[in-house]
Amino acid sequence: MAGYKAKDIQVLEGLEPVRRRPGMYIGSTAPPGMHHLVWEILDNSVDEALNGHCNVIEIRLEKDGGVTIKDNGRGVPVDEFQKTKKSAMEILFTTLHSGGKFDHDTYKVSGGLHGVGMAVVCALSEKLIAVSSRDGHEWTQSYSQGKPTAKLEKGKATRQHGTSVMFKPDPQIFPKTDFNIKWILERAESKAFLNKGLKIAVRENGKTHQFEYPEGIKDYIKKMVGDGSTLMDEPFYVEKEDGSMKLEAAFVWTSKTESEIHSYANSIKTVDGGTHETGFKNGATKAMRAYIERRNLLPKGIPNISGEDVREGLTAIVNVYLSGEVEFQGQTKGRLNSDIASQVEGVIKHSLEHFLHDQQSLGDRLAGRVVMAAQARIASRQAREAVQRKTNISHRLNLPGKLSDCSSTQRDESEIFICEGDSAGGSSKQARDRKTQAILPLRGKILNVETANLAKILANAEIKNLISALGAGIEPKFEYSKLRYGKVIIMTDADVDGAHICSLLMTFFFRHMPQLIENGHLYIAQPPLFRIDSGKKSFYALDEEEKDSVIKKLNGAKYEIGRFKGLGEMPVADLRETTMDKNKRAMIQVKMADKENADRLFGQLMGKDAHFRFRFITERAAFVQDALDI
């Protein structure tokens, strides 16, 4: 305490705080944080479009690892700033909390509200070159790590107007500086969807991707739903100005059981939702409740309609434009905090209720969908409670009879193999390490949970055995602390049926035990399909390609090839050595890089609509060799 004096206090000047603590401004120095630099500059260009000054934006990935974002807006001001001798451009790129967005006459609507975006990008860039076309000339200035490296230069005469910013992320700040083209394309496309009439081009490696959508978010909804089964011919769309707020929403009910709601504020994606999303949910729920009540469509035994019932199968986009002060949570703007929930709720409730009554045949169909969701919710709750009552009575004594448990009670060293059939289960029991490896054989193919309600899922004997063996229950009451095994390993035959069973199990885990995947507990065993014997040596191959590689390495030596028909017929020694021995086996850990995309793929490939599966198979059939497995 005594040694703590004024000399120990540091005052960070200029943009040094940004370089010292970048996570405070962009979330992290991981790839998502680095891409936030692109979003900041892109949002500035989109703000020009929102205010009617820009209709074309270009994003170009440079060969040196940089990125250029160019628009045809008004151009960054270059005149001398107030009492300083610096240009407005230099102030904007080198000073925190500077910008035109604090003045509501300059920007009536804006996503970049904190006045730090351009300066933060400059501070975290190894190199940044800004070009402003305005007042009849091109004006250029270069920067590095938040400081100018040259004076503002007046260039050639031009009649064009707009801003171009080229920057290269600083490798001293970011461990990885490669841009993810997929993320940039998705962001560019969403900006084009959200701003009717705006053209955005992304150029990389000689390719150009163009985005322009005349119907805005209605086009976005149609793309999200694709060819999937919907209850409506066209998405419901509402656009309304209410004081300082303009609301735009489009939504449609599908045959899926999950909801997908994307919310935006001033074209910024609010990944954590906020008041506009809350208002939308409340408005949709109240409108549907009022319609069902007025039409007397609620059957006996259903006490009420919940928001969860209304949102089942709902795909929606909610976008608000706010003028004046807009409150986001954090610099990365993940959540909208502005007090507009009641405004949004009122607009959605009034417009949706009017729409339902105006088209009663469609309204009744949608109401029936909601009532069915309520009935399934109540039935599922009752089934879940019944299962929980049974499993809560001394869980260890109620483990499934087919489970050959391990002796260890330490989760980190214990693992369970889920295999198909008693035959494979018998071989696995003989090949396992009894201390740390448990075996649970399942009878054939489990229920496809993507097409079944929760009551039917919980009534399935194989799924009940699986839930009971793992010991942690299922969502929404999954208790991670009660999970009994550190590794949950799907072990199926290396054939088409085995792949199908593996897909069904992965669907179950993704939908009802997602924490298994998120926390790295789910694995897929890789049993070999072939054994190649040459002299006294034996080799194993997972597939035809690996088999051919092994034979090639034998350099003409004599060999014999055996093909394993299934795990149940594989010799115990082979099964132990290739698939279960912790020191020799090969396994794939199931990871989830993009939960939103995974959700969509499971819905499409495992759902009721066979069209997606048919298209998926036919598009890839040409790439599959030896597709027929006999």
- Please enumerate in sequence order all residues whose Cβ is within 8 A of that of 154, keeping only pairs 6 or more positions apart, or say none: 137, 138, 139
Domains of the chain (ranges, CATH numbers): 16-211 (3.30.565.10), 217-379 (3.30.230.10), 395-527+588-623 (3.40.50.670)
Q: What angle do CA 224, 229, 230 make, to 5 degrees?
A: 75
Q: What is the DSSP string of 592-612?
A: -S-HHHHHHHHHHHHSS-HHH
* Separation of alpha carbons 559 and 535, rounded Å: 7
Least confident residue range of 10-19, 555-564, 601-610: 10-19
Q: What angle do CA 353, 355, 360 make, to 5 degrees?
A: 95
Q: What are the backbone angles phi and psi of residue 189, rounded to the nearest 5°?
A: -65, -40
Give the pLDDT of residue 162: 94
Q: To the nearest whole number, what is the mean pLDDT of the chain?
A: 84
Give the pLDDT of residue 387: 56
Confidence check: pLDDT of 383 > 80: no
DSSP state at residue 80:
B
Give the pLDDT of residue 7: 43
- Express each pLDDT in 472-511 by its tens digit: 888 888 888 889 999 999 988 877 788 888 889 999 999 8
Token pair 């005149």 is at which residue? 79
Give the pLDDT of residue 5: 39
Q: What is the DSSP string of 501-542?
A: HHHHHHHHHHHH-HHHHHTT-EEEE---SEEEEETTEEEEES
Give the pLDDT of residue 460: 86
Catalytic residue numbers, as ranges? 420, 493, 495, 497
**Which amino acid would we find at residue 615?**
R
Give the pLDDT of residue 138: 94
Confidence check: pLDDT of 624 > 60: no
Confidence check: pLDDT of 625 > 70: no
Confidence check: pLDDT of 46 > 60: yes
Confidence check: pLDDT of 26 > 90: no
Instruction: pLDDT band for 623, please (50, 70, 90 cuts).
Output: very low
Q: What are the backbone angles phi and psi of residue 194, rounded to the nearest 5°?
A: -80, -10
Q: What is the DSSP string of 154-209?
A: EEEE-S--EEEEEEEE-TTT-S-----HHHHHHHHHHHHHHSTT-EEEEEETTEEE
* Separation of alpha carbons 83 and 341, rounded Å: 42
- Higher-confidence position of 277 and 3: 277
Using only C-alpha atoms, the chain has a radius of gyration, in whole angstroms, of 30
Instruction: pLDDT band for 598, please (50, 70, 90 cuts).
Output: confident
Confidence check: pLDDT of 441 > 70: yes
- Express each pLDDT in 527-550 by its tens digit: 888 888 888 888 888 888 888 888
Give the pLDDT of residue 122: 93
Instruction: pLDDT band for 52, please (50, 70, 90 cuts).
Output: confident
Q: What are the backbone angles phi and psi of residue 578, rounded to the nearest 5°?
A: -90, -30
- Higher-confidence position of 385 and 206: 206
Q: What are the backbone angles phi and psi of residue 260, rounded to the nearest 5°?
A: -140, 105
Least confident residue range of 467-471, 482-486, 526-530, 622-626: 622-626
* Separation of alpha carbons 455 and 375, rounded Å: 10
Give the pLDDT of residue 420: 84
- Express each pLDDT in 148-163 by its tens digit: 999 999 999 999 999 9
- Express each pLDDT in 219-242 by its tens digit: 888 888 876 678 888 899 999 987
3-state secondary structure of 317: strand
Query: What mean pLDDT is predicted for residues 70-82?
Result: 88
- Please enumerate in sequence order all residues whose Cβ is within 8 A of that of 590, keeping only pairs 6 or more positions apart, or say none: 506, 509, 517, 522, 523, 524
Give the pLDDT of residue 103: 42
Print the SS3 string covering 126-169: EEEEEEEEECCEEEEEEEECCEECCCCEEEEECCCCEEEEEEEE
Confidence check: pLDDT of 107 > 60: no
Task: Say what percent of the chain tops pLDDT 70.
Answer: 87
* Separation of alpha carbons 400 and 465, rounded Å: 5
Token pair 């390719």 is at which residue? 207
Confidence check: pLDDT of 431 > 70: yes
Give the pLDDT of residue 241: 87
Name the nearest CA neighbour of 95 among 123, 74, 76. Answer: 123
Name the nearest CA neighbour of 119 among 10, 268, 16, 20. Answer: 16
Instruction: pLDDT band for 4, please (50, 70, 90 cuts).
Output: very low
Instruction: pLDDT band for 619, please (50, 70, 90 cuts).
Output: low
* Separation of alpha carbons 232 and 362, rounded Å: 8
Q: What is the DSSP string of 4-20?
A: --GGG-----TTHHHHH
Confidence check: pLDDT of 358 > 90: yes
Query: What mean pLDDT is predicted for residues 262-289?
Result: 91
CB-count exposure of residue 547 (10 Å: 0-12, 13-18, 19+): buried
Q: What are the backbone angles phi and psi of residue 314, rounded to the nearest 5°?
A: -85, 130
Q: What are the backbone angles phi and psi of residue 142, rounded to the nearest 5°?
A: -110, 155
Least confident residue range of 38-47, 480-489, 564-573, 599-608: 599-608
Asked whether the CA dihedral 500, 501, 506, 509 is positive or negative, the reply is positive
Highest mean pLDDT among 20-34, 145-159, 589-603: 145-159
**350-to-27, 238, 435, 456 alpha-carbon distances in Å:** 38, 10, 63, 37
- Express each pLDDT in 323-342 by its tens digit: 777 787 765 667 888 889 99
- 268-269, strands of its sheet edge to edge: 236-242, 245-253, 314-322, 260-265, 268-269
Token pair 């409730």 is at which residue? 349
Give the pLDDT of residue 330: 63
